[in-house]
A and B are shown apart, each in its own frame.
Chain A
Amino acid sequence: MSTLRTVLRDARLVAGRDLRIEARSRVVVDQVLPFAVLVLVLFGFALDADHSTLRTFAPGLFWVTVLLSALLAIQRSASLDSADGTGTSLRMSGLSPVARYLGRTTAVFVQLLVLEALLVGGLVVLYGVSVEEWFLLVVAGVAAGVAVAAAGTLYGALASGLRARETLLPILVLPVLAPVLIGATRAFDDALGVAAVDGWAWTGLLAVAALVLTVVGASAHGALVED
């Protein structure tokens, strides 16, 4: 269908633009990634634990860190439009809201994947974790990443243009991501050999969450953006 191809092409345009902006400004790389590592370090200090305890909590700490850092990445992504009137020109450019949503979500997703990869390294180095099932780890990380990016982009758009949007975004998006936190932590429990759970079943749940949130996000985004 030509509309599908148009949407995908436009989405790629938007994603490319967002990622190019990030490549130039390096906000995520310079600020969000260090923040994520910092949170891991803070947890280390706060728990004051030996490696075996940290290893037990590693999946949970990992995903809490990802969620908190994702908030920053999402705020950044949402603000890309509001500076210097690019928002209006994007709207008038005729790109469909769905394409804009998918493009934006993709860009955030890519940034989250980079973040997750770095943090896995952090877990190995700082928490003494060893990865037992790489494939499960990657698939779960991807599924959770899509879910977080999808929900985040929707709520980022929702909060943009309102005063107090920085404090509003976290309380809106984090409860909705509770199932993703639970599922991703359990999947990583399995992949990191921390607990005897069925990581693939949880990854299935993550995939469903990712799908639902993307579909809902794409549909709702249109309602939000036509103001």
Chain B
Amino acid sequence: MAEEPMSPAPLPEGTASDTTGSRGSRLLGVLALVGLAVLGVLAFVLTDPDVRIHPSTGAEFGQFDAVRMLYVHVPLAVMTYLAYGLCAVASLGVLIRRTPWWDVTAHAAAEVGTVFCGLVLVTGSIWGRPVWNTWWEWGDVRLMTTLVLFLMFAGYLALRRTTGDPRAVSRRAAVVALVAVLDLPLVNRSVEWWENRTLHQQSTLGDLKIEDLTLFTLMLGFLVLGMVLAWLLLHRFRVGWLERAALDHSVAAAIVERRGETPDDELRRAVGDPSPGESS
């Protein structure tokens, strides 16, 4: 009887490759989790709240503990730009090179980027409430620009989900991503002119004394959230790749079925599984 170590059954169960994880990604994940814990400790315990003394009245003012939002909000924003930037580059790749790799990367980057972007808006709003006394501020440049950016990529993701010729959808989505990125400076400039003052400017990011431990914690925030971003991108890419493969696989199987080729090994060969030693 032939051994079959190299030929898995069509529906493998419990084989080594039944997840999208790999040694590298698991290590990255563990590092990210440890990093998040360290970040938490630094952000909440070891760093000081933002307390300043008014020069004439001697009263205390500042963000107090709300400043601890800094360590999650700003890194989220940076990661959003990285992810969307990657999406733009990958979208260019889709239009120029047209390989599936660019396409899956673009989609993965857009989806992960939108998750981060949404979190930027939410954490920004939550941070803004105690510090600016409002959940939302229409005149704020960064807030508006980020909101429009979020909406543009929400449209991108909606487009991705429509049914239709996959190649057409992927090309159109690439155009949407590129136009979004090109439009962004216009959005930014127009909102900037719209209100001359912005809360972001008046605020405290400028007059916070970002030095020493605060700075270090912020840098750590970039590093840790960067690892989280990388992990999410990796897995989302693999999921996207598998979705494509599953589609190809089911199409191939359906074609073979329709051709009425019943012998088992013919079927297996057609869908890419090497046939076992014996043929019936």
Contacts and interface: CB of A to CB of B under 8 A. Distances in A.
A and B directly contacting (CB within 8 A): yes
Interface of A: 151, 154, 158-159, 161-164, 168, 171-172, 174-176, 178-179, 182-183, 186, 201-202, 205, 208-209, 212-213, 216, 220, 223-224, 227
Contact of B190 (A164, A172, A179): A179
28 contacts: A151-B179, A158-B172, A158-B176, A162-B163, A162-B164, A168-B155, A168-B159, A171-B158, A172-B155, A172-B159, A174-B151, A175-B152, A176-B183, A179-B186, A182-B190, A182-B194, A186-B194, A201-B193, A202-B193, A205-B193, A208-B186, A216-B178, A216-B182, A220-B179, A223-B95, A223-B174, A223-B175, A227-B171
B151 A224 contact: no
Contacts of A209: 186
A162 B180 contact: no
A175 B180 CA distance: 9
Contacts of B190: 178-179, 182-183, 205
Contacts of A175: 148, 151-152, 155, 180
B193 A212 contact: no
A209 B183 CA distance: 8
A171 B154 contact: yes
Contacts of A223: 95, 171, 174-175
A216 B184 CA distance: 13
What 10 A-B pairs come out closest when comparing CB atoms?
A179-B190, A175-B151, A179-B186, A172-B155, A171-B155, A175-B152, A182-B190, A220-B175, A162-B164, A158-B172
Interface of B: 95, 148, 151-152, 154-155, 158-159, 162-165, 167-169, 171-172, 174-176, 178-180, 182-183, 186-187, 189-191, 193-194
A164 B95 CA distance: 23
A127 B158 CA distance: 38
Contacts, number: 88
Contacts of A172: 155, 158-159, 176
Contacts of A162: 159, 162-164, 168-169, 172
A212 B182 contact: yes
Nearest to A183: B190
Contacts of A151: 179
Contacts of B187: 178-179
A176 B152 contact: yes
A227 B152 CA distance: 24
A227 B169 CA distance: 10
Contacts of B158: 168, 171-172
Given A162-B169, A220-B178, A182 B159 contact: no
A161 B159 CA distance: 12
A164 B194 contact: no
B162 A176 contact: no
A164 B162 contact: yes
B172 A179 contact: no
A26 to B, nearest CB: 31
Nearest to A174: B151
A202 B155 CA distance: 27
Contacts of B169: 162
A183 B155 CA distance: 23
A213 B189 CA distance: 15
A202 B183 CA distance: 16
Contacts of B168: 161-162, 227
A227 B183 CA distance: 25
